[in-house]
Structure 1
Amino acid sequence: MATRKRFWTPVLIAAAAATCIGTVGGLLTNTGIWYQALVKPSWQPPDWLFGPAWTLIFALAAISAIYAWRSAQDPSQRRWVVALFALNGLLNLLWSTLFFVVKRPDWAVLEVVLLWLSVLLPILVFWRRSKTASFYLVPYLLWVAFAAFLNLTVVQLNAPFG
């Protein structure tokens, strides 16, 4: 029974955390009048694509967390796994808040650098013990890089803000 619990605990926690961050991020994302009025580049994906893309990204991040947790050799390393994913989740929500709630894409473009770094850091940290955990985060890193370029382009097309 203890082995079964050790197997499922990280799965359930990672799934719950990814679902929570994704849900709160979705609730913060208001694509109403203000957002629709922004000039966006012609190459921006359609709005309907962002939900499925983020769902896939968070699912892959949850899988990465499971591999990283299971490869951790002691409670200290597990705390690092949790801390790195918690930091990323907070920065992800902060970006959504800055862009959609505060309506400051210019501030969000500065913050997205931190978000990108919060994806890169666990890739580097996990690499030694679990290359699989690192690989599962690569699509997230690429997506945030794309989102950062899109955010910067929106700022350039619509500035100034505030």
Structure 2
Amino acid sequence: MDVSHSSLPVRRPYSTLAGAILGAELLGALGTVFTASQINTWYTTLAKPAFNPPNWVFGPVWTTLFALMGAGAWLVWRGGFHRRAVRVALAAFALQFALNIGWSAAFFGLESPFLGLVTIAVLWVAIVATIALFDRVDRRAALLLVPYLLWVSFAALLNYEIWRLN
């Protein structure tokens, strides 16, 4: 990894890491705009599979995943924004993040398990692509996204079952 150039995440690693994690947490919280009012209303009316976790599980899981995502993006950023591979990887990261928020809008905001399923399928592909692009810059960054991919895989199965049952 070329870090010989002067870049902010290299010069100020702790503050920029904290900022990247906080930024990911804040962006991730945008999804709650669509979910907060639906969790105890519309969502409770849906038939769910036996493996559906209790609602309290989702907050801690997403908080952890967003922190890992922020740390991964920071590691890629440290690779030097002047490098094309870094810019492409961070662009893919931004796209998959938008799709993540879009899933909340589709599933909860539009009350559509079907649109949620379509969105999460595209999100899954975008996460795989982001992991591959992160890996070209920093293997650790790619590995930090693996728990996210696993959770989204589980969420896709859950989304599918909710769509099928309703």
TM bracket (short chain): 0.7 to 0.9
2:51 to 5, 22, 43: 43
Counterpart for residue 26 of structure 2: 20
Q: CA deviation at 1:76?
A: 3.2
C-alpha separation in 2, matches of 1:42 and 1:118? 28
Alignment pair present for 1:124 and 2:103: no
Checking the alignment, whether the CA contact within 8 Å between 2:92 and 2:130 is kept in structure 1 is yes
Amino acid at match of 1:148: A
Checking the alignment, whether the CA contact within 8 Å between 2:46 and 2:162 is kept in structure 1 is yes
Amino acid at match of 1:43: F
Count, aligned residues: 158
Q: CA deviation at 1:83?
A: 1.1
Counterpart for residue 115 of structure 1: 123
C-alpha separation in 2, matches of 1:22 and 1:146? 18
Counterpart for residue 95 of structure 2: 87
Give deviations 1:25-50, integer Å, cap 9, x for gaps.
Answer: 12221213211000001111110000
Q: CA deviation at 1:23?
A: 1.4
Checking the alignment, whether the CA contact within 8 Å between 2:22 and 2:67 is kept in structure 1 is no
Checking the alignment, whether the CA contact within 8 Å between 1:72 and 1:129 is kept in structure 2 is no
**TM-score, normalised on structure 2?**
0.85
Amino acid at match of 2:78: R
C-alpha separation in 1, matches of 2:101 and 2:58? 15
User: Structure 1 stretches of 5 or more lacking a match?
Assistant: none
Checking the alignment, whether the CA contact within 8 Å between 1:69 and 1:81 is kept in structure 2 is no
**TM-score, normalised on structure 1?**
0.87
Change (3 A) 1:10 1:76: farther
Counterpart for residue 67 of structure 2: 59
User: Structure 2 stretches of 5 or more lacking a match?
Assistant: 1-6
Amino acid at match of 2:45: A
Alignment pair present for 1:157 and 2:165: yes
Change (3 A) 1:10 1:132: same
CA RMSD of aligned residues (A): 2.1
Checking the alignment, whether the CA contact within 8 Å between 2:85 and 2:137 is kept in structure 1 is no
Q: CA deviation at 1:98?
A: 0.5
Checking the alignment, whether the CA contact within 8 Å between 2:106 and 2:113 is kept in structure 1 is yes
Deviates most, 78-87 or 129-138: 78-87
Amino acid at match of 2:13: F
C-alpha separation in 1, matches of 2:56 and 2:81? 41
Q: CA deviation at 1:13?
A: 4.2
